[in-house]
Amino acid sequence: MRGKPVTKRIIAADPKFQRVDIAKLINKVMIQGKKTIAQRIVYGALEYISDKTKQDAIEIYDVAMRNIAPNLEVKGKRIGGANYQVPIVVTGERKVILAHRWLIEAASHRKGMPMHKALAEELLAASKNEGEAIKKREDVQRMAEANRAFAHFG
């Protein structure tokens, strides 16, 4: 490895719920540094969830994140001139990153509704083990299972 290792930045908790994972979701939603708009989208989605289900939105968010977060993923490795898709175990921080990425991607693919509503609908679907983000997780898991024969390269 070249250069010195990158120092890990400490992200401050979000102002409303005092949770770091929600702050990370806000940062992931943010486009071109417009944090107030990203906060409005995420908080609007959580408010929409609590209005629609009459349950705590944070609990639904936690269940959805647990359902979306993958256990295995594949990583390409070049060995002897051939590329192998090697399954690797996903650790804590990477699980959250992938779950947020897939959630936002799935919400942005929902057409015909504002982003806060699309994000809320995707969170609700994920909490019931449905939706596009869950499908993405299952595809990644299936790919890792299919390439278990190459696990010894990892």
CATH number at residue 62: 1.10.455.10
pLDDT at 79: 86
pLDDT at 60: 96
Question: Is 37 inside any structural domain?
Answer: yes
Whether 14 maps to a domain, the answer reads: no
User: How high is the mean pLDDT in each 10-residue block of the chain (154 residues)?
Assistant: 89 94 96 96 97 94 96 90 90 93 96 95 96 95 89 77
Residue 2 is predicted with a pLDDT of 87
Is residue 106 a contact partner of residue 92, using CB atoms and an 8 Å limit?
A: no
pLDDT at 150: 83
Segment (H or E) for 82: strand 82-89
Domain hosting residue 107, numbered range: 20-153
Is residue 11 in a domain? no
What integer pLDDT is reported at residue 108 of this predicted model?
Answer: 95
- Per the structure, how many domains does the chain have? 1
Non-local (6+) Cβ contacts of 64 within 8 A are 103, 123, 124, 126, 127
What's the pLDDT score for residue 63?
96
In a domain, 1, yes or no: no
3 inside domain: no
* Placement of tokens 């990153």 in the chain: 97
Q: Does residue 40 lie within any of the structural domains?
A: yes
Q: Is residue 31 part of a domain?
A: yes
Predicted local confidence at residue 112, as pLDDT: 92
